[in-house]
Chains A and B, each alone.
Chain A
Amino acid sequence: MDWFLVLSSLIKISGFTFLVILPFVALSSLAERKVSAYIQDRVGPNRVGVPLTIFGAKKDFPLFGLVQPLADGLKFILKEDLTPKHVRKFYFWLAPALTMVPALLTCAVIPFGSYLNIGGREVKMVIADLNVGPLFTFAIASLGVYGIVLAGWASNSKYPFLGGVRSSSQMISYEIALGLSVVPVLMVFQELNLGMIVEEQDKNGWLLLPLWGEGLSWQRWVLLVPMVISFVVFTIAMFAETNRMPFDLPECETELVAGYHTEYSSMKFAMFFLGEYAAMIIGSGLIVTLFLGGWSIPFLPTAELAKTTWWMGLLHMGCFLTKVAAFIFFFMWVRWTLPRFRFDQLMRLGWVFFFELALANVFLTALILMIVKR
């Protein structure tokens, strides 16, 4: 047995989930509040620090609200964990886990860095180097809807039920557009391994920014048209997939109280909350990986350098996280700008518009590839 492989995989799993994704979840909940505050000309949380006064000190240690997520988490843990009498207990308890777990599972195939040179051996910075990366992601990510549907159904009350039903119909209508919009991308790369896709982009220019390597050809610029369409459809479908505003109909506060998690309290509610944010982070990670070059630094093809030096790998990881953070900001920016869609508009948009657009885009890409690449 290759102990090095086992050990490095364990470190990658625990490191990526517990040191990257979960802190990112916590920080993005803070960022959400800050961004919303700034957009609405408010200050946002700026108080929480280390409460030294509890221990008898004169003054608290101010951190400008940076530890607000900790305070939120503490509050969630200390709240009463209420299971109402009228719920189906087993599914009621299962549902929060079912939203959180798929969101975290999908991060297995996302390459969060290139290579890290540890003691002369190059370690690929992806937990599972699958050859069916995007398919795995879609398969697992769409399991997330089960958590929401189960939560709505198990709650045995009408508003959560409506939220669950909405969620499932919304997911079905956007899953198709999501899957179809990524087909042209895979056609261009002729590759289903996310790590290889990023390496290709590192060498020959990002999918949306073909400005170096082989990307500087007119063929790539013609291909940019279907790629931009793909990007737009994929991003919008990702918004719907992660239940973010303009498509957060499952928890639409104005009509459904709080949608599917109306009956939940304390840490079980927090699981839904965390699951939503984790899904958002993974979604951004996927978009960045497919369209914006993953860990690659623009204009500097450095994949080979990362195999021999230790610092390049770290730099790539930083680059990936920066891109993901920027995309998360975009998610929030959109949330605090757009109003929620009406449900029939949402369905129309999904079935009548994006589905057709994504389908036509597949053929358009095929046509361009057939004419141009010859």
Chain B
Amino acid sequence: MAYVVERPKLSLAEKLYFPSILKGLKITLGHFIRLMRGRTKVTMQYPEEKWDASLPAHYRGAPTLVTDEVGRERCVACQLCEFICPPRAITITPEQIPSEDKWAKVEKRPREFKIDMIRCIYCGMCEEVCPEQAIYLRKDYAITGTTREEMVHDKKRLYELGGVREGLVNKWNELK
């Protein structure tokens, strides 16, 4: 059925255009005054104010390596994270743990563990795939550097960022 859309009949005030201009001016002035009086919530002033305190527990920041409460580095250099990493940011060089070492039965550890933070996309796959609970995404999000080399986190830096994590499953303790 043909349906005719009625064109709106404009009143004189609407045709004159001025009342709507005044209405618009009123709205913008309202916004202006509200902000001047500090009633409007505006953006966060970033370097001075940060949202660190309100970051959620599941926030995915920079990936780091952790040690446990007995001081053992948890990574066993299985390289699962290296293989799953979508942008291939992780490079692991494994080595054999010498037999006189206290943790010789773990057999493998990383000699070098590098995460290229220019490539990292903070997806958290490495944390998810890790069978040893060794790699965690922390809440650091402002990773900066002045050279490309600086942006590659090596093993030392990763442990520094990760720190000690307690309450993890202790697969390799003395009883087992």
CB proximity of A236 to chain B, nearest CB, Å:
10
Whole-angstrom CA separation of A35 from B25 in the bound complex? 13
Whether the pair A38, B31 counts as a contact (CB closer than 8 A) is yes
Whether the pair A338, B21 counts as a contact (CB closer than 8 A) is yes
* Residues from 1 to 45 in B contacting A, C-beta threshold 8 Å: 21, 24-25, 27-29, 31-32, 35-36, 40, 42-43, 45
Whether the pair A42, B32 counts as a contact (CB closer than 8 A) is no
Number of interface residues of B (CB under 8 A): 14
Report the tally of A-B residue pairs with Cβ distances under 8 A: 32
Measured CB to CB, the nearest residue on chain B to A41 is: B40
Measured CB to CB, the nearest residue on chain A to B35 is: A38
Stretch at the interface among A68-76, A96-104, A166-174, A329-337: A329-337
Whether the pair B21, A35 counts as a contact (CB closer than 8 A) is no
Whole-angstrom CA separation of A290 from B64 in the bound complex? 71
Whether the pair B35, A41 counts as a contact (CB closer than 8 A) is yes
Whole-angstrom CA separation of A40 from B29 in the bound complex? 10
List of A residues within 8 angstroms of B29 by Cβ: 333
Measured CB to CB, the nearest residue on chain A to B30 is: A39
Q: Which of B21, B32, B42, B45 contacts A39 (CB 8 A)?
A: B32
Measured CB to CB, the nearest residue on chain B to A43 is: B42
Q: Which of A42, A43, A46, A333 contacts B28 (CB 8 A)?
A: A333
Whole-angstrom CA separation of A55 from B141 in the bound complex? 30
Whole-angstrom CA separation of A128 from B94 in the bound complex? 86
Whether the pair B28, A337 counts as a contact (CB closer than 8 A) is yes
List of A residues within 8 angstroms of B35 by Cβ: 38, 41
Whether the pair B31, A40 counts as a contact (CB closer than 8 A) is yes
CB proximity of A350 to chain B, nearest CB, Å:
14
Whole-angstrom CA separation of A136 from B45 in the bound complex? 49
* Residues from 28 to 64 in A contacting B, C-beta threshold 8 Å: 35, 38-43, 46
* 15 examples of A-B residue contacts, CB within 8 angstroms: A35-B32, A38-B35, A38-B36, A39-B28, A39-B32, A41-B31, A41-B40, A43-B42, A43-B43, A43-B45, A46-B45, A333-B29, A334-B25, A337-B21, A337-B25
Give 5 closest A-B pairs by Cβ, nearest first: A337-B28, A38-B35, A39-B28, A337-B24, A38-B32
